[in-house]
Structures are given as C-alpha cells and as structure tokens.
Amino acid sequence: MYMVELNHNVVSFNSNTLIKGGHGVLVNVYVSKVGSGSDKVIFKNGTDTSGSAEFTIFTAAQGTYVGINRRFEDGIYAHCTGSAEITVVFK
C-alpha cells in the first residue's frame, strides 16, 4: 500500500498549521517526531484555532493512524501543543 495515492496531498508540520482551506478529508496521520507529556494536535473544522474540534491525537509517542477518512466541511486546521513533528495525508 502506498502512503500517497492519486489526488492525495501530504504536509508535515510542528506548529499550528492550516492544512487545507474549504472542504477536505483527513486520510492518515503520522507522528514522526514525538513530543513530551501531554503534547497533542487537535484537528479542527475551520481555518484557525476558533474552529470546532473534531478529534485529538496525543503526540508523546510515535503513532501511525491510517484510514481515518474524516470529512471537514470548513477547512482542516491543526492546533498543536509542544514540538512534535506530524505528517498528514489529506484530499
């Protein structure tokens, strides 16, 4: 299985990031560099920190989360605490 298939995009980040404006689908999340303690990334439906929280991934351990396929209507925004490195696949 390939990490990126047709019409998929990839972005890596370690701070608050607008992943995609407008509607999109979050496909996979990879925690490639761990944070510490209660560090986390909160994925929000919107284009900034005021968007509604859809789900949270704690980043104090490496993780591979595939097949999420969560639809975001108003944009995909990642609100990060700590300095973990996250890679996401979206469309």
- Taking only the tens of pLDDT, the chain with its 91 residues reads 455 556 889 999 999 999 999 999 999 999 999 999 899 999 999 999 999 999 999 999 999 999 999 999 999 999 999 989 999 999 9
- pTM here is 0.90
The strand pair at 52-58 and 63-65 is best described as unpaired
Backbone angles phi, psi at 45, to 5 degrees: -85, 95
DSSP string across 28-74: EEEEEE---TT-EEEEEESSSTTSEEEEEEE-SS-EEE----EEESS
The full set of domains in the chain, from first to last, is: 9-90 (2.60.120)
What Å distances lie between residue 35 and 3, 28, 53, 55, CA to CA?
23, 19, 20, 18
